[in-house]
Amino acid sequence: MAAIRSMVEESDLPAAMGWPKDAIGKTRILLPGGGKLHPITASSSSQEGARPSFAVMDETHHWTASNGGHALAKVIRRNLAKSRDGMARAIETTNAHAPGQDTVAEISYLAFLSMTEKRTRGKGLLYDSREAPGHVELADRDQLMAGLACAYGDSSWVDLERIAEEVYDPATPPEEARRFYLNQIVAAADSWVAPHEYDANLREDLAPLADGDTVTLGFDGGRTDDSSALVAVRVSDGAPFLLGLWERPEGPAGLGWEVNQDAVRDMVDNAFTRFDVVAFFSDVALWETDVDRWRELYGERLLIKATTRHAVAWDMRGHQADTVRAVEALHRAFIDGEVPHNGDQALRRHVLNGRRRPNRWGVSFGKETRESTKKVDALAALVLARMARGRVLGEGVLSKRRKRTGRLYGF
């Protein structure tokens, strides 16, 4: 309320209303038409049935189930939905949330992603954030100042030099500096890749995937719960492209959902029609029949076979050591900025959902929990496609093909 009072005092509202300066109370501010600004407590039961016309939900990155934040947010939204003209609204004012804490801010952010990717029918949420670019290196003073200027925008009262000193204070962990000063959504403690590390690979001028491009494919599939994803990686630059993603819709639409197998088959067939596919690695769980079909249809076209026994099938569980090496190679490529991508939000979401899973062979990845709705299947497909590309380059099969045919493909 102190901030609101200052804003009113410094605005044109008192003069427009004919108020004297001292008419703005310390505990309440009366508005035209009989309205008032009213602070509420975190008790959801005391707010049930209230009739607000506008609600400010402040610092929702601290609203959790344990402190009553989830229940309060639900009550506020129910009350707003029952307004007479349907025009009542709420706004959340928050710092960047910490992934994995299940705060109201995180829930709202994930809901926004669902809407933008059309995974839900809801459309009544606007997400607006001033966030520093992902490539900002905290150790580079010029980059830091540019990132701070981006995040703080026209907040002219903020001393950016003073903020920079806080960033360089040894007591400030880097993840806190990114979250609270650069407004970046930082990684969970066990994240496989941090958001700023993934975003640093974004290439605004990346050439789109074109018909005839030489690619490798990766596929990871589910049936009813896990997603199914088909990823192409361009051999020339290692850029990934999400060709297809089939996910169970959120909410009631997801009841009884099962992946459209014909749609998956059509997308694979389309990829072989459009592109010069030189390798295709597919996990086999739940898709054994289709994997055998793809071998029969396309095995002769593939320059690299997944294994000596099967041109397409790559059992990620049965080849854990090799799979972990591929996962670690992809992780290093992200850190080194060698995975140029176009910013596809669905692929980004699946990659950032990945959590570090150490095992006897190294560090692999997995879901947050076994039953988590935060899927990683597109990440698994990307690992397979990049593994296939590594084999193509390592064995020099494209050079051998050019020498044999005298023609150049895909470059």
- List per-block mean pLDDT (blocks of 10 residues) for the chain, which spans 411 residues: 76 78 63 72 76 90 93 92 82 89 92 84 84 89 96 92 96 90 85 92 96 98 92 98 93 86 98 98 95 97 96 95 97 97 96 94 92 92 98 93 60 44
* Spatial CA neighbour of 37 closest among 8, 69, 63, 66: 8
In a domain, 178, yes or no: no
Give the chain's domain count: 2
**Residue that is last in its domain, among 90, 115, 140:** 115
Place of tokens 């390592």: 394
What is the pLDDT, as a whole number, of residue 251?
A: 75
In a domain, 256, yes or no: yes
What is the pLDDT, as a whole number, of residue 283?
A: 96
The reply to whether 263 and 375 lie within a common domain is yes
**Residue that is last in its domain, among 53, 86, 115:** 115
We report the CATH number of the domain holding residue 378 as 3.30.420.240
The reply to whether 370 and 248 lie within a common domain is yes
What is the pLDDT, as a whole number, of residue 411?
A: 44
pTM: 0.76
Q: Is 341 helix (H, G, I), strand (E, B) or coil?
A: strand
In a domain, 84, yes or no: yes
**Residue that is last in its domain, among 115, 137, 162:** 115
What is the pLDDT, as a whole number, of residue 139?
A: 93
| Inter-residue contact 381 to 314 (CB < 8 Å) | no
In a domain, 123, yes or no: no
Q: Domain containing 335: what range?
A: 214-405
In a domain, 341, yes or no: yes
What is the pLDDT, as a whole number, of residue 323?
A: 97
In a domain, 181, yes or no: no
DSSP per-residue letters across 262-331: HHHHHHHHHHHHHSEEEEEEE--TT-HHHHHHHHHHHGGG-SS-SSSS-SSB--TTTTHHHHHHHHHHHH
Helix ranges, 91-191 (H): 104-116, 141-152, 160-167, 174-180
Question: How many Cβ atoms from other residues are within 10 Å of residue 124's Cβ?
Answer: 9
In a domain, 188, yes or no: no
What is the pLDDT, as a whole number, of residue 65?
A: 92
Virtual torsion, Cα 375, 376, 378, 384, nearest 10 deg? -150
